Structure 1
Amino acid sequence: MSGRRHEVDGGVLRIGLTGGIAAGKSVVAQRLRELGAVVVDHDVLAREVVAPGSTGLAAVVEAFGPGVVGPLGELDRAALAAVVFADPQARERLNALVHPLVRRAADAREEAARAAFANVVVHDIPLLVESGQAGHFDHLVVVDAPPELRVERLVEGRGLSESQAWARLAAQADDDERIAKADVVLDGSGTVEGLRAQVDALWDRWLAEPVPAAHHDDDGAE
């Protein structure tokens, strides 16, 4: 765990999952969900907190102007991306608006999972390292793949130009920085089946660990 604080809270194993764009993180998240984990997808939450009519969307429009709103009052993600991926300061401004809203929503999802007696809660966070959350979990899992392969996937699978793809990679943490924070690094450069097998092996390791126990004060109260 490299000195990371080990959170043993209420018998729930808390996992942070991240990785560079197009490295294979979605494959890992889906397999963990299939194995029984509750996956809190922070990308989904990031969309929910800026839904039409939300205070989050109002804050984004105030910061970046009406040009980031689509014809139906929704956030125009392509227009916003064109701004923030070309301007690091604009990206920081967006993150400062959206990240606190997403964290509050994620906390609510985790509390619901605890109430349903979940054993493993996975927080799927694309910008986990960048947002300073690396020390918040029992284990931090990073999915890694070579940058050139990820650019190829973005171009072929998501229709981005090469320059757009490289800009998306540049907007995230340096790969070495991300890996340095990891407890586990999964290789996303091979097949989907191979990556899923790595997840299965990791899951078996987690199941073999002692179940985290709830914190108790000296007087015995939780």
Structure 2
Amino acid sequence: MLVLGLTGNIGCGKSSLSNIFIKNNISIIDADIISRQIFEDKLILKQVFDTFGESIKNDDGTLNRKLLGEIVFNDDDKLIKLNKLTHPIIREKILSKIHEASIKGEEIVVLDAALLIEGNFLELVDKILVITCDEAVQIERIKNRDNSSKEQALSRIKSQMIQEEKSKYGDYIIDNSGTLIELEEKANKFIKYMKENWCG
């Protein structure tokens, strides 16, 4: 089974690309969904509140992810602290899902993870696909999606590894500065390439 790591920075269209894979009957392990689900664990939640304070707690006792995001995206040390708390659990859940896909006899499984490189998840994948786009396009997408200002969008972008650096890890790069139709064409070309060259 081929484990493909899909990564790319915020606003580059990773989710859109994942949806195209799903349409092509390729299974996705979404690290972002896993990272949300782990906060349903009361022990993890307590550790996060103890580390970052009660201000990030909603009235019903759940985590206010937006407020936590604002704290960690503007402070590298706090981001490192959060990652140290969450990454080991996320890794464990990802490995479990890869194992499930293998048992099912899947030919390809995609690990969709924005922090594939930064989170030290590289050893979990066989090949890496990086999706990129022009920064101006990236900013507009973040503003429209999150109803945020240009400054907030730039803050999110700057909290991540720069695209040029991330691209160095890629076995294949897709530029998604254009339309969804163009992305679909590039994705279909990539899927054909992947099956011909990487699948055994």
Task: Give the TM-score, by structure 2 length.
Answer: 0.95
Q: Tell me the residue number matched to 2:65.
A: 77
Q: Distance in 1 between matches of 2:165 and 2:197?
A: 27
For residues 1-222 of structure 1, the aligned pairs below 5 Å read 12-51=1-40, 53-209=41-197, 211-212=199-200
RMSD: 1.3
The alpha-carbon deviation at position 157 of structure 1 amounts to 2.4
Is this contact kept in 2: 1:23–1:144, CA < 8 A? Answer: yes
Q: Distance in 2 between matches of 1:146 and 1:14?
A: 27
SS at match of 1:142: strand
The alpha-carbon deviation at position 55 of structure 1 amounts to 2.1
- Paired amino acid for 1:203: I
- Paired amino acid for 1:202: F
Q: Which runs of 5+ in 1 are unaligned?
A: 1-11, 213-222
Pick closer, same or farther for the CA change 1:182–1:135 going to 2, 3 Å: farther
Pick closer, same or farther for the CA change 1:211–1:189 going to 2, 3 Å: closer
Pick closer, same or farther for the CA change 1:135–1:183 going to 2, 3 Å: farther
**What fraction of aligned residue pairs are identical, expressed as a percent?**
26
Q: Distance in 2 between matches of 1:109 and 1:144?
A: 26
Pick closer, same or farther for the CA change 1:210–1:67 going to 2, 3 Å: closer
Q: Distance in 1 between matches of 2:165 and 2:198?
A: 29
54-63 or 158-167, which deviates more: 54-63
Q: Which runs of 5+ in 2 are unaligned?
A: none
Q: Distance in 1 between matches of 2:121 and 2:199?
A: 23
SS at match of 2:129: strand
